């Protein structure tokens, strides 16, 4: 069988392994299948390429351009994912594991593509939060903005997710406008290389946006500066070496670490045998122990159950795990594949020996178990292993030893407080899960454990059919955790994009802030367009373009008519004496909704035209009561435009309703869809 040369992609060139290469074995057969690495990589040229070619090309695009690029990349990978499945079997992964890694990675990219279009402007600057009023009259304001860092994002990934691990970091970096240099773990880099080749062959990425290091990273970290970012995923031991790099410290290089973690899953006191929650807990725990042969940073390492249920839980979980077929992941009947390498298997067995000092093995003998598949006898297989620790308070190693394989330890707790204390003994984890049908238990556990965990996953009979799993980081929700888990944070929607941007507080006049963000800011110049704004197409409207309507007097008859017509006969509109007793009203006042309706009547241009639909309003505030006899006018200003499709886009209008004394009585933002 020929040995695959896994190349690096540096400064636009594929570089094959040389004398400095390491051999890579198949997880299934133990035979050498590939080699990767160079004795010396020109890391200076790579960084230069990212900084001078990739970064500027990406930053010329808007957030929406880059989001469209991500969507097209994800579609391209989706069409070619079988190639990646075929490569990935040799990592020991089953088809179900591929779905987690490969489909999960592609799905993450799709989510960032969609969020980029829906939640970011079609611009080069991302406003962060709202305008801050820094002066009495509003002539001096503040706005936080985010702009992409101008260096390279260096992504160092763990072996267990060769595709998801890359894409979950790459998608937010590219969306932010930062080029990436990806360094996968050597053990599974051939799958990452396959994925990078697919992305480059698609022609969708600008030159220099993506480079790849298969093998050692050389002196790359020594060359980074404050415009670069390191995103690391791997063991706590490697993270502590890398984060102590003197150059990273001297230059305050952003360093995000996603490390290992002793994640706990808690069975609620109400979830006794016979409840749907007990069965759910057993099912989830078994799945977490066996997916990717337990090589998952989020896997359940510690199972916390009420002391009285420990026996029943061990019995039910052992029965379920006992049915798992271990072996060649290419075979349909296999439920759990191999660990990534013999070295990894040895590491797990060494950690198991540590656990055995404090816990009794109740399931799984690594010296005696069946492996399916004729070709699989040299592979790095292990059976699911379950331990029982009867004194988790005195024990130490069960709370700090990560056996990165199909291994978990059951511990009994006395009450919720004890369960929380044990969960927190992990010293900071990526995720803790809780299976309970009691909201008070959920509240107590969350308040006690949230500060120690990046994610809390609660499941019960209500959510179980649609829940996403204890171990699945979602692109919408943050992934990371304090302490032992690395102190980092990734994903979490657009939060994850901001890790690749600098947040800057910009202070100045409304016109200055408007020019920077491309949005009209209250207090900035208002202009009159050449026609009624409802007659102007999406692309013709300019931020600041304003319509001031004629006045309309609100009469008592209007108020009574509206009250009878809608059924809203609230006393403040109908009963003068009762209204006068209310501290907010001088007497009978107009309905707020009547004012909104009158406002539309004042600013709408009725004929068929570019305005396609009113899709909602944001931030509505009624500021001053309107009494019968008051005359209202509307100032309608284009605030921002966001393209949605080729045919139409969303216009955000700033609407202010004022009375005859020019005092604002209501303010809101109106959203319409306008033809392109």
Residue 334 binds to ligand NAP (criterion: CB under 6 A): no
Q: Which two tokens stand for residue 654?
A: 């700033």
Residue 97 binds to ligand NAP (criterion: CB under 6 A): no
Residue 496 binds to ligand NAP (criterion: CB under 6 A): no
DSSP codes joined into one string, 523-557 = TS--B--SS-GGGS-GGG--TTBEEEPPPEE--HH
Among 328, 402, 650, 656, binds ligand NAP (CB under 6 A): 402
Q: Pick from 404, 433, 37, 129: which is nearest to 263 by CA?
A: 433
Bridge-partner residues for 363, per DSSP? 386
Q: Pick from 91, 479, 85: which is nearest to 293 by CA?
A: 91
**Is the distance from CB of 398 to CB of 360 less than 8 angstroms?**
no
Shortest Cβ distance from residue 183 to ligand NAP (Å)? Answer: 6
Q: How far apart are CA 99 and CA 111, in angstroms?
A: 16
**Is the distance from CB of 373 to CB of 328 less than 8 angstroms?**
yes
The residue range among 7-15, 153-161, 439-447, 667-675 that interacts with ligand NAP, by the rule CB under 6 A, is 153-161
Residue 164 binds to ligand NAP (criterion: CB under 6 A): no
Task: Please say if 258 is a catalytic residue.
Answer: yes
What secondary structure letter does DSSP report for 327? Answer: B
Among 212, 430, 497, 596, binds ligand NAP (CB under 6 A): 430
Enumerate residues 198-217 that contact ligand NAP by CB under 6 A. Answer: 217
Among 93, 131, 149, 156, binds ligand NAP (CB under 6 A): 156
Identified catalytic residue from 146, 195, 297, 389: 297
Q: Dihedral angle at the C-alpha atoms of 169, 170, 175, 177, nearest 10 degrees?
A: 110
Q: Which two tokens stand for residue 67?
A: 């989001």
Residue 183 binds to ligand NAP (criterion: CB under 6 A): yes
Residue 35 binds to ligand NAP (criterion: CB under 6 A): no
Q: Which two tokens stand for residue 36?
A: 């990767």
Residue 160 binds to ligand NAP (criterion: CB under 6 A): yes
Residue nearest ligand NAP, CB atom distance: 234
Neighbours of 132 (CB within 10 A): 11
**Is the distance from CB of 212 to CB of 192 less than 8 angstroms?**
yes
Residue 277 binds to ligand NAP (criterion: CB under 6 A): no
Among 202, 235, 275, 467, binds ligand NAP (CB under 6 A): 235
**Is the distance from CB of 469 to CB of 303 less than 8 angstroms?**
no
Give how many residues touch ligand NAP by CB under 6 A.
Answer: 24
The residue range among 84-92, 181-189, 351-359, 393-401 that interacts with ligand NAP, by the rule CB under 6 A, is 181-189
Among 38, 233, 409, 436, binds ligand NAP (CB under 6 A): 233
Residue 348 binds to ligand NAP (criterion: CB under 6 A): no
Among 62, 108, 186, 672, binds ligand NAP (CB under 6 A): 186
The residue range among 227-235, 315-323, 412-420, 459-467 that interacts with ligand NAP, by the rule CB under 6 A, is 227-235
Work out whether strand 552-553 and strand 631-643 pair parallel, antiparallel, or are unpaired: antiparallel
Shortest Cβ distance from residue 589 to ligand NAP (Å)? Answer: 56
Identified catalytic residue from 25, 168, 258, 489: 258
Among 159, 255, 278, 457, binds ligand NAP (CB under 6 A): 159
Residue 314 binds to ligand NAP (criterion: CB under 6 A): no
Of 100 and 281, which CB lies nearer to ligand NAP in the complex structure?
100
Bridge-partner residues for 541, per DSSP? none
DSSP codes joined into one string, 638-650 = EEEEEE-SSSEEE
The residue range among 42-50, 169-177, 185-193, 578-586 that interacts with ligand NAP, by the rule CB under 6 A, is 185-193
Of 328 and 489, which CB lies nearer to ligand NAP in the complex structure?
489
Q: Which residues lie below 8 Å from residue 33, measured CB to CB, with a gap of 6+?
A: 1, 3, 4, 24, 25, 26, 90, 190
Of 234 and 337, which CB lies nearer to ligand NAP in the complex structure?
234
Binding mask 247-266 for ligand NAP (x = CB under 6 A): -----------xxx------
Q: Which two tokens stand for residue 594?
A: 């009547």
Task: Please say if 119 is a catalytic residue.
Answer: no
Q: How far apart are CA 509 and CA 523, in angstroms?
A: 8
**Is the distance from CB of 230 to CB of 157 less than 8 angstroms?**
no
Q: What's the full length of the chain, in residues? A: 676
Q: Which residues lie below 8 Å from residue 404, measured CB to CB, with a gap of 6+?
A: 160, 260, 294, 295, 344, 347, 348, 351
Q: How far apart are CA 614 and CA 194, in angstroms?
A: 46
Among 404, 452, 457, 534, binds ligand NAP (CB under 6 A): 404
Q: How far apart are CA 246 and CA 249, in angstroms?
A: 5
Shortest Cβ distance from residue 223 to ligand NAP (Å)? Answer: 13
Residue 158 binds to ligand NAP (criterion: CB under 6 A): yes
Binding site for ligand NAP (CB under 6 A): 156-161, 183, 185-187, 217, 233-235, 238, 241-242, 258-260, 297, 402, 404, 430
List the catalytic residues: 258, 297
């Amino acid at each position: 069988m020929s040995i695959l040369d896994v190349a690096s992609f540096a400064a636009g060139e594929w570089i094959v392994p040389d004398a400095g290469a390491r051999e890579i074995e198949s997880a299934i057969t133990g035979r050498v299948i590939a080699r990767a690495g160079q004795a010396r990589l020109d890391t200076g040229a790579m960084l230069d390429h990212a900084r001078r070619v990739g970064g500027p090309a990406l930053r010329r695009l808007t957030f929406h351009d880059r989001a469209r690029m991500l969507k097209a990349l994800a579609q391209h990978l989706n069409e070619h994912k079988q190639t990646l499945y075929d490569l990935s079997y040799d990592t020991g992964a089953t088809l179900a594991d591929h779905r987690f890694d490969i489909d999960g990675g592609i799905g993450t990219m799709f989510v960032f593509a969609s969020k980029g279009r829906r939640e970011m402007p079609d611009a080069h600057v991302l406003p962060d939060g709202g305008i801050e009023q820094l002066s009495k009259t509003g002539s001096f304001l503040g706005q936080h903005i985010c702009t992409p860092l101008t260096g390279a994002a260096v992504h160092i990934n763990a072996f267990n997710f060769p595709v998801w691990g890359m894409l979950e970091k790459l998608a937010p970096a590219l969306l932010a406008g930062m080029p990436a240099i990806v360094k996968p773990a050597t053990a599974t880099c051939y799958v990452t290389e396959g994925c990078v080749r697919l992305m480059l062959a698609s022609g969708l990425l600008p030159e220099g946006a993506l480079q790849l290091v298969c093998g050692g990273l050389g002196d790359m970290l020594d060359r980074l500066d404050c415009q670069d970012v390191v995103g690391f995923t791997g063991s706590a031991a490697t993270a502590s070496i890398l984060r102590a790099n003197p150059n990273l410290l001297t230059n305050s290089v952003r360093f995000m670490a996603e490390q290992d973690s002793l994640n706990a899953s808690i069975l609620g006191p109400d979830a006794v045998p016979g409840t749907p929650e007990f069965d759910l807990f057993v099912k989830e725990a078994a799945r977490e122990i066996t997916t990717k042969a337990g090589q998952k940073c989020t896997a359940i390492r510690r199972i916390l159950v009420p002391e009285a249920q420990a026996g029943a839980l061990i019995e039910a979980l052992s029965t379920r795990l006992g049915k798992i077929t271990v072996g060649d992941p290419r075979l349909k009947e296999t439920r759990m594949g191999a660990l990534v390498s013999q070295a990894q298997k040895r590491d797990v067995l060494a950690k198991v020996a540590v656990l055995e000092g404090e816990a009794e093995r109740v399931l799984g003998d690594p010296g005696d178990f069946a492996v399916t598949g004729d070709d699989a006898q040299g592979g790095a297989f292990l059976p699911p292993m379950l331990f029982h620790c009867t004194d988790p308070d005195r024990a130490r190693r069960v709370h700090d030893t990560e056996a990165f394989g199909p291994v978990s330890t059951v511990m009994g707790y006395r009450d919720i407080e004890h369960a929380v204390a044990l969960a927190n003994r992990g010293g900071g984890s990526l995720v803790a899960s809780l299976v309970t049908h009691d909201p008070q238990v959920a509240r107590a556990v969350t308040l006690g454990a949230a500060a120690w965990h990046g994610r809390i996953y609660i499941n019960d009979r209500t959510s179980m059919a649609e829940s996403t799993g204890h171990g699945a980081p979602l692109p919408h929700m943050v992934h990371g955790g304090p302490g032992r888990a690395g102190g980092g944070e990734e994903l979490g929607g657009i939060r994850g994009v901001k890790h690749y941007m600098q947040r800057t507080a910009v202070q100045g006049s409304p016109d200055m802030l408007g020019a920077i963000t491309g949005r009209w800011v209250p207090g900035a110049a208002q202009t009159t367009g050449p026609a009624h704004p409802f007659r102007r197409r999406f692309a013709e409207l300019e931020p600041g373009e304003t319509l001031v309507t004629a006045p309309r007097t609100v009469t008592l008859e209007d108020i009574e008519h509206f009250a009878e017509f809608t059924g809203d006969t609230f006393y403040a509109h109908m009963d003068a004496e009762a209204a006068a007793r209310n501290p907010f009203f001088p007497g009978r006042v107009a309905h707020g909704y009547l004012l909104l309706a009158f406002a539309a009547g004042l600013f709408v241009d009725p004929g068929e035209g570019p305005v396609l639909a009113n899709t909602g309003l944001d931030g509505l505030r009624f500021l001053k009561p309107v009494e019968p006899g008051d005359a209202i006018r509307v100032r309608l200003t284009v605030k921002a435009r966001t393209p949605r499709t080729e045919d139409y886009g969303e216009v955000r209008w700033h609407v202010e309703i004022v009375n005859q004394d020019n005092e604002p009585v209501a303010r809101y933002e109106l959203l319409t869809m306008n033809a392109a």
